[in-house]
Structure 1
């Protein structure tokens, strides 16, 4: 039985859908990373993706839903960091565990930043976390806060005697160092061309930097036990 032109056209549309959906997602990711969420229109995304304007909302809904879909797409990077964190927490607390925790936090992001497919996503995360739009705040709460709590707990566990409050500060400082490293390319100019922005050798240096800073912050908390004052001799 002849399926007819309408049925055949629907079949063609279905076969093209994954590529067009992906093209829209990648276009939005690139434009949001370069210009920011608020500065990009749905029309610009459609033009960048090379698809009709109506297809953007057809596949991904409104702009805030498309923004959310980008982070849903890259959920595997969060899962990878948490898997590495679980391995890092095995063993005895101390400096070696601390460094493994920091490596689990840093290494997947640097690999993503160095890859062609992940470059814009890494830039997008750095940009949106810096400007903290309402849309970014929602993404932070849903996608990144649970991971942040896991890393804060791990930093606390790696440094016996420290407080979780200090671990939260250490995590905050670590995020700042990591995001600045992946988003700022001035190092070539500041080093008078001795360093390269994409130098893979910077990764271990960043891990050492964050590990040392974290260790300095997570010193054992002072004892709260009260001491009996010595009596003065007459």
Structure 2
């Protein structure tokens, strides 16, 4: 009888191709965890969300969340590290803006660099939850938010305050720091507040990128009104003018 032929074992190349095919079909679970955490933190707040909920949203085993990111506060930090390129984009726009205080458009261009990239991110499908997370979590004092602010956002804030100071040289840097905080408040509120639809009787939509220009004008006008500007020569009073004409 002819000897039975044993099936040949898979070659290393075959096994490699099969593994590559499986990896291509399997979603990136590490990325899925990050996106799930970002979404849930934005919707419910950091302290209201559990690791189990994040795992369920991502569709991964519970232990995998800790395997990739460690404790919850490290996962929170990882979200902002992942999106750090948005800060770089704002700083690049700031560097491209004129800082000449004699240029009447300098202040507007600085504020556009501050606002524009964030509004663009808020209106994009991939950045929607992150922009809401920034607006929701960083406005409150918490240990987790303070770490993120100090590492990612404070250095950017100092760059913008310096630029605003160059555009408004008659104000002190302390004055400009107040102005930056007020501008930040307007931007963060715009990112998270969905009441505009209700308040406008459904004529406006939350996060509408077309509102970016209005927000820039609002902030520029507020900075000019609230901070010291070059004083104008005092106009002579009517009485003194009358005396001189006699």
**What's the TM-score, normalizing by structure 2?**
0.82
Q: Is the 8 A contact 1:163 1:220 kept in 2?
A: no
The offset of 1:220, in angstroms, is: 3.7
Partner of 2:31: 22
Q: Note the alpha carbon deviations across 1:20-67, whole angstroms, 9 max, x for none.
A: 110000000001111111111111111000001111111111111111
Within 2, Cα distance between the matches of 1:83 and 1:7? 43
Q: 1:97 to 1:18 in 2, by over 3 A?
A: farther
Partner of 1:157: 166
Is 1:101–2:113 an aligned residue pair? no
Partner residue of 1:60 out of 50, 63, 69: 69
**What count of residue pairs does the alignment treat as equivalent?**
222
Within 1, Cα distance between the matches of 2:137 and 2:230? 35
Two-structure CA RMSD over aligned residues (Å):
2.6
Partner of 2:144: 135
Within 2, Cα distance between the matches of 1:151 and 1:96? 16
Q: Note the alpha carbon deviations across 1:167-218, whole angstroms, 9 max, x for none.
A: 1000000000001011111112112223222433211000000001111222
* 1:16-55 equivalence runs, <5 A: 19-55=28-64
Q: Is the 8 A contact 1:29 1:124 kept in 2?
A: yes
Within 2, Cα distance between the matches of 1:135 and 1:16? 35
The offset of 1:95, in angstroms, is: 3.3
* 1:68-83 equivalence runs, <5 A: 68-83=77-92
Partner of 1:225: none
The offset of 1:79, in angstroms, is: 0.2
Q: 1:102 to 1:59 in 2, by over 3 A?
A: same
Within 1, Cα distance between the matches of 2:64 and 2:157? 35
**What's the TM-score, normalizing by structure 1?**
0.86
Is 1:176–2:182 an aligned residue pair? no
Is 1:190–2:168 an aligned residue pair? no
Within 1, Cα distance between the matches of 2:17 and 2:63? 21
The offset of 1:9, in angstroms, is: 10
Is 1:219–2:220 an aligned residue pair? no
Q: Is the 8 A contact 1:112 1:118 kept in 2?
A: yes
Within 2, Cα distance between the matches of 1:11 and 1:194? 50
The offset of 1:13, in angstroms, is: 8.6
Unaligned runs of 5+ in 2: 1-9, 232-246
Q: Is the 8 A contact 2:111 2:219 kept in 1?
A: yes
Q: Is the 8 A contact 1:99 1:207 kept in 2?
A: yes
SS at the partner of 1:131? coil
Partner of 1:207: 216
Moved over 6 A (4+): 6-18
